[in-house]
Structure 1
Amino acid sequence: MPDPMTVASGISAAGALVSAWQLRRRALRAEAEIELLQAELEAERHAASHDPLTGLPNRRAFFRMAAALLTDAAGKPLVAVVLDLDGFKQVNDRYGHAAGDQVLISVAQRLTAFAGDNLVARLGGDEFAGLLRGPTMDRRWIEQATRRLCEALADPIPLGARTVRVTASVGLAPVHGPTQLTDALCRADAAMYQAKSVGASRVPRQLMAEC
């Protein structure tokens, strides 16, 4: 007959293995739940700070991120850019809101490509903004940058079997210090409306108009 002590020892060892296995399963389940909660939290944070259509930072995130960039700029020239699309409502009216959404996505992609690793955002509707590092803040560089951005945005945008061409009015203005972002955006906005008044995708004579 089996030794009762041996049997008891075997049962005890088997019980210990089962308990260890159950603890391991619980630990893995807890880790998975924590990872899921962290992913959900990160998704909520991203959704709160980014535009759901284009994936760009939204208005609130833009100002927060721009303030951090200006604080850490270390004397590098920074230029604020503001743009909106000319006649965007006509795209929605003629082709539908799905087409309008695709235009906004394409504009966001082109603005991002133009800006490189610089900050760009969708402020709302068809209005976008950015904070660009420039080699200089002189008028010639600003005029050239404005023209190149207008040309990039004016390229035809494919919409299924057809294409549309949407121009943009653009304004740029240098940022003179960490506390001057609002003023620079105001001047860039004034330059954008001046460009709109003289014709779509044209560079205004006074690129740094005062508010």
Structure 2
Amino acid sequence: MFGFGALGVVLAIVGAFAASRRLARPIIALEAAARKVSAGEHAQVEVETRDEIGRLARSFNRMVNAVEERERQIAHMAFHDSLTGLANRTLLREQIALALHRHGGADFALFCLDLDNFKSVNDTLGHPTGDALLCEVATRLAETCPQGFVARLGGDEFAVIVQDGSGAADQTGRAIVQALTRPFTVNGHRIVTGGSVGIALAPQDGQDATSLLKNADLALYRAKHDGKGSHRFFENAMDAEAQARRAMEVDLHDALRNGELELHFQPLFGLSQNRVTAFEALMRWNHPVRGLVSPIDFIPLAEETGLIIPIGEWALHEACRIATSWGDDIRVAVNVSPVQFRSSTLNSIVLQALARSGLEPQRLELEITESLFIDNVEATLASLHSLKVLGVRVALDDFGTGYSSLSYLRSFPFDKLKIDRSFIVDLLANKGATAIIRAITTLADALGIETTAEGVESSEQLDILRSEGCNQIQGYLFSRPIPASEVPALLVKLSGSRMAA
């Protein structure tokens, strides 16, 4: 009895130990696998049974696979563009850093590019078509640079890395521009766009990703500034120009607040009235350090940065305020920038300027350029008609330098055409210029539109313009632009002098 009892106890202990080992082994395996997963390693548990522990092991394996798949998706989203599937800016920077350290910094070229007039595609065809166009551009770039690393930086901006690019960068840049020039067919639309390309060469143009991207972007800015549809290499002078432009932008932000901007006025002399009939308001910037800054330098910068909106608003208010001190028969002309014209607030600003100053609407003349008609003729004409409803006059500046002048003369009743100074300069040297002046004045007279000749500097030019039926004259022959304080004296001077009939 005692022997059988002892044997039973031993067998029970052995059975319990074996059972505990069988139960503990998968749990220990699960624990070890969990540690690996928490450390970022791949781990799977071998399933040996069909009991509860086996089901737990299978659930654990499915969970690990699901987590790893989500991590792969998250990693892909973190380093790739969701629209085109290309690498994004973060992955591009890593690739640039890798290329710089590979083989001691082997030569490669970084191309930064964007589409020309992409905004008009979104505005006219809608964002879905714009997105589809970006996908087509991504495909075409990959085909054009099969050995390159293509990335989308955002919006319509892309970048390409090409190894050993210093020797073939020019050829590659031309190929990219040509590829983007070919028409795209997207959602049933035939889209003709183009692209500008900026090129930075490594390692001479930058020792890190930040410098290379900045310099390639500066080269891209130069390519767009030079007329788009081209490629430009980075030059050290571009960096200096960018720094100067940035410093001027900062100063321009403060110029309006500090009262550094002022308006000068140039008279427009009516030939039939034999007197000054209007003044054109022209912007001047008296910088405390730089001195008098030319509008040629700061107006384009103001348009690029959007500062032209508040500056233009100030100019309208100031011009109307000053014009109220003149005679009721003298108008004031104010140039409206294309950026300002496209602003939805232009009408309200004009109304406020007239209301606050008390100036009669017909004494305010807004001058626009033909470039407004290039992007969207219908929208431009609608805006012009809304301005005419306010009672102000509208003049077409630099007439004759555009491509479709006659078509929109029929579509909108302009009050005045300002003949570009390039035709006036040629009057004495080129008989063809006289014929052009005659054609413009005859056309304008038939349509009931006034004409003003800009840039008149000699009495000989005046005589020709008078004989060809021009209504008004503007130029240094009468006066340079002057401060508002000098306008009364000029009016007295010009009223005392008679122009030969």
RCO (CA 8 Å, sep 6+): is it higher in 1 or 2? 1
1:47 counterpart = 2:69:
no
Q: 2:65 matched to which residue of 1?
A: 35
Contact 1:66 1:119 in 2 (8 A): no
Rounded Cα–Cα distance in structure 1 between residues aligned with 2:189 and 2:221: 30
Structure 1 unaligned blocks of 5 or more: 1-15
Cα distance, 1:95 vs. partner?
0.1
Cα deviation for residue 51 of structure 1 reads: 1.3
Greater mean alpha carbon deviation, residues 43-52 or residues 81-90: 43-52
Q: 2:203 aligns with which of 165, 168, 176?
A: 176
Counterpart of 2:55 (choices 18, 25, 31) is 25
Answer whether contact 2:148 2:161 (CA < 8 A) is retained. Answer: yes
Structure 1 residues 39 and 117: CA distance shift in structure 2, 3 A: farther
For 1:189, which of 203, 213, 217 is the aligned residue? 217
CA shift at 1:106, angstroms? 1.1
Tell me how far apart the structure 1 counterparts of residues 231 and 64 of structure 2 sit (CA, whole Å): 53
Cα drift, residue 192 of structure 1: 1.5
* Alpha-carbon distance in 1 for matches of 2:109, 2:94: 16
Measured in 1, the distance between the counterparts of 2:197 and 2:153 equals 14
Instruction: Tell me how far apart the structure 2 counterparts of residues 73 and 66 of structure 1 sit (CA, whole Å).
Output: 13
**1:45-99 deviation digits (Å, cap 9, x = unpaired):** 1112221111112212211232122212455321111001110100000100001
Q: Is the 8 A contact 2:105 2:203 kept in 1?
A: no
2:227 counterpart (199, 202, 211): 199
Instruction: Give the letter aligned to residue 195 of structure 2.
Output: A
Give the structure 1 partner of residue 234 of structure 2.
208
Spell out the pairing of 1:57-96 with structure 2 (5 A cutoff): 57-96=87-126
Compare 112-121 and 98-107 and name the one that shifted more: 112-121
- Aligned 8 A contact 1:175 1:181 in 2: no
Corresponding residue number in structure 2 for 1:104: 134
Q: Distance in 1 between matches of 2:219 and 2:118?
A: 19
Which residue of 1 is the match for residue 367 of structure 2? Answer: none
Q: Distance in 2 between matches of 1:208 and 1:158?
A: 33
1:100 CA displacement = 0.6
Q: Offset of 1:197 from its aligned partner?
A: 2.0
Output the TM-score relative to the length of structure 1. 0.80
Select which of 137, 162, 166 maps to 1:132.
Answer: 162
CA distance in 2, matches of 1:163, 1:73: 45
1:147 aligns with: 174
Q: For 2:85, what is the secondary structure of its paired residue?
A: coil
> Contact 2:100/2:203 (CA < 8 Å) preserved in 1?
no
Conservation of the 8 A alpha-carbon contact between 2:99 and 2:105:
no
Q: TM-score, normalised by structure 2?
A: 0.35
Please, which runs of 5 or more residues in structure 2 have no aligned partner? 1-21, 23-47, 240-501
**Residues 185 and 119 (structure 1 numbering): CA distance in 2 closer, same or farther, change over 3 Å?**
same
1:159 corresponding residue in structure 2: 186
- Contact residue 198 and residue 223 of structure 2 kept, 8 A: yes
Number of matched residues? 189
Q: CA separation in 1, counterparts of 2:186 and 2:54?
A: 53
The alpha-carbon distance between structure 1 residues 55 and 35, as it changes in their structure 2 partners (threshold 3 A), is same
CA distance in 2, matches of 1:203, 1:118: 17
Report if aligned partners of 2:99, 2:106 keep a CA contact under 8 Å in 1.
no
- Measure the CA separation in 2 of the matches of 1:129 and 1:111: 9
Rg (Cα) greater in structure:
2
- SS of structure 2 residue aligned to 1:169: strand
Q: For the structure 1 residues 49 and 158, does the alpha-carbon distance in structure 2 shift closer, same or farther, using more than 3 Å as the test?
A: same
Q: CA deviation at 1:165?
A: 1.6
